[in-house]
Amino acid sequence: MQAFVVRHYKSPVEPAEVPEPLVGERDVLVQVRAAGLNLLDEKIRAGELKLVLPYQLPQILGNDVAGIVLAVGAKVRGFAPGDEVYARPGKDRIGTFAERIAVAETDLALKPASVSFEEAASLPLVALTAWQALVERGNLQPGQRVLVHGGAGGVGTIAIQLAKHLGATVATTVSTGNADFVRELGADVVIDYRHQDFEQLLDGYDLVLDSVGGKNLEKSLRVLRPGGKAIGIAGPPDPAFARELGTNAVLRFVMTVLSSRIRRQARRLGVTYEFLFMRANGDQLRRITALVDAGALRPVVGRIFDFDQAVQALQSLDQGGIRGKAVLSRS
């Protein structure tokens, strides 16, 4: 079958003929109709994550899928051929830039009936990230205040909507041209990061979702109330993440050192910092499906590329300027 693979780190992805997916007894074979594009794909291609995600090259890229079930393994009970589904495959089984992919049943959910395949494909990775940050890790409650950085991006657009659904007051940082857009999504406080300093404008927040890292993360700690929490998805990775990955002692030590400074700063301020690398979860996706079909969440697709434009599409991620997500489509 046809797929787009990375053969060498830092080289462009390229089309290739690859073997058909192996379908285990608890796997679901999905005909790919659309695949979301993520910065994660670009980081994998560039080799930035090879220590924590050591793929054997050549590797098919792609971390989001929406499509139609073609076949199911012998022990699969929740899906049948013809079902319309979507998923973020497990990190060890990525490869949605292809005609077909085998996905573990536990990572899969029925796609929201109210949206297209392209819209559905834009959701899994970013929606699961928002869910795991705000609900699972952040335990966000009605009346609390949350700061979402990068509100016009893939994670940001969903996180704003989810936080509002949970009853929180939402502040976000965006460029000038996106201010009205994020207000429409539900943002209560909009900060133009090019002309305003969020640290000077915000104080006493319960939770921050940081997608920038570096100095931005350090400043985010200072807008939290005592006992507040900053969740970073851009790093640095922390010891808990190293344990979750099951890394060797050397890599655990490296991750501990990388995050030691920000963790010390957090302790001095009486707040906490956690690194989040989202994981595949079909149960959470089903809850997201219900929110989408109820109108509480809407996908934001900024651009749709044909599948044969995968190289150009990945390059567009570095250029920025796309609201929400970019998607590859076979429609």
pLDDT-derived band at 226 (thresholds 50, 70, 90) equals very high
pLDDT attached to residue 246: 76
Q: What is the mean pLDDT of residues 239-253?
A: 80
Q: Answer whether residue 293 is part of any domain.
A: no
Please indicate, yes or no, whether residues 98 and 141 belong to a single structural domain of this protein.
no
Question: Which of these, 202, 164, 166, lies nearest to 184 by C-alpha position?
Answer: 164
Q: Answer whether residue 280 is part of any domain.
A: no
pLDDT-derived band at 247 (thresholds 50, 70, 90) equals confident
In this model, does residue 1 exceed pLDDT 90?
yes
**DSSP characters over 238-295:** -HHHHHHHT--HHHHHHHHHHHHHHHHHHHHHT-EEEE------HHHHHHHHHHHHTT
Residues 6+ apart with CB under 8 A from 156: 148, 149, 150, 172, 174, 182, 211
Q: Is the Cβ–Cβ distance between 191 and 212 less than 8 Å?
A: no
* Distance (Å, whole) CA 53 – CA 65: 19
* Distance (Å, whole) CA 208 – CA 170: 10
pLDDT attached to residue 301: 98
Q: Answer whether residue 63 is part of any domain.
A: yes
Please indicate, yes or no, whether residues 66 and 55 belong to a single structural domain of this protein.
yes
pLDDT attached to residue 243: 81
Q: Answer whether residue 48 is part of any domain.
A: yes
pLDDT-derived band at 320 (thresholds 50, 70, 90) equals confident
Please indicate, yes or no, whether residues 154 and 106 belong to a single structural domain of this protein.
no
pLDDT attached to residue 211: 95
pLDDT attached to residue 240: 84
Instruction: Please tell me the total count of domains within the chain.
Output: 2
Please tell me the least confidently modeled range out of 51-65, 101-115, 140-154, 307-321: 307-321
Q: What is the mean pLDDT of residues 193-215?
A: 96
pLDDT tens profile 260-300: 999 999 999 999 999 999 999 999 999 999 999 999 999 99
Who has greater pLDDT, 306 or 319?
A: 306
Average pLDDT value over all residues in the chain: 95
* Distance (Å, whole) CA 274 – CA 59: 29
Q: What is the mean pLDDT of residues 116-133?
A: 98
pLDDT attached to residue 208: 98
Tokens of 51: 């220590």
Please indicate, yes or no, whether residues 215 and 179 belong to a single structural domain of this protein.
yes
User: Domain with 237 in it: what CATH number?
Assistant: 3.40.50.720
Q: Answer whether residue 281 is part of any domain.
A: no
Amino acid sitting at position 213: G
Please indicate, yes or no, whether residues 102 and 131 belong to a single structural domain of this protein.
no
Q: What is the mean pLDDT of residues 303-312?
A: 95
Amino acid sitting at position 211: S
Q: Answer whether residue 291 is part of any domain.
A: no
Question: Which of these, 218, 229, 203, lies nearest to 136 by C-alpha position?
Answer: 229
User: Domain with 18 in it: what CATH number?
Assistant: 3.90.180.10
Please indicate, yes or no, whether residues 49 and 29 belong to a single structural domain of this protein.
yes
Please indicate, yes or no, whether residues 145 and 224 belong to a single structural domain of this protein.
yes
Please indicate, yes or no, whether residues 115 and 164 belong to a single structural domain of this protein.
no
Helices 214-221 and 249-269, interaxial angle, to 10°?
40
Structural domain for 133, as ranges: 125-275
Please indicate, yes or no, whether residues 119 and 219 belong to a single structural domain of this protein.
no
Please indicate, yes or no, whether residues 309 and 265 belong to a single structural domain of this protein.
no
Q: What is the CA radius of gyration of the chain?
A: 19
Please indicate, yes or no, whether residues 102 and 149 belong to a single structural domain of this protein.
no
* Distance (Å, whole) CA 5 – CA 2: 10
In this model, does residue 224 exceed pLDDT 90?
yes
Q: Answer whether residue 42 is part of any domain.
A: yes
Percentage with pLDDT > 70 across the chain = 100
In the numeric block, the tokens 């001095």 are attached to 268
Question: Which of these, 104, 125, 7, 121, lies nearest to 60 by C-alpha position?
Answer: 7
pLDDT attached to residue 27: 98
In this model, does residue 5 exceed pLDDT 80?
yes
Q: Answer whether residue 140 is part of any domain.
A: yes
Q: Of 260, 275, 290, which residue sits at a domain end?
A: 275
Please indicate, yes or no, whether residues 35 and 145 belong to a single structural domain of this protein.
no
Helices 282-293 and 124-131, interaxial angle, to 10°?
100
pLDDT-derived band at 252 (thresholds 50, 70, 90) equals confident
Please tell me the least confidently modeled range out of 80-94, 201-215, 229-243: 229-243
pLDDT attached to residue 239: 84
pLDDT attached to residue 244: 80
pLDDT-derived band at 179 (thresholds 50, 70, 90) equals very high
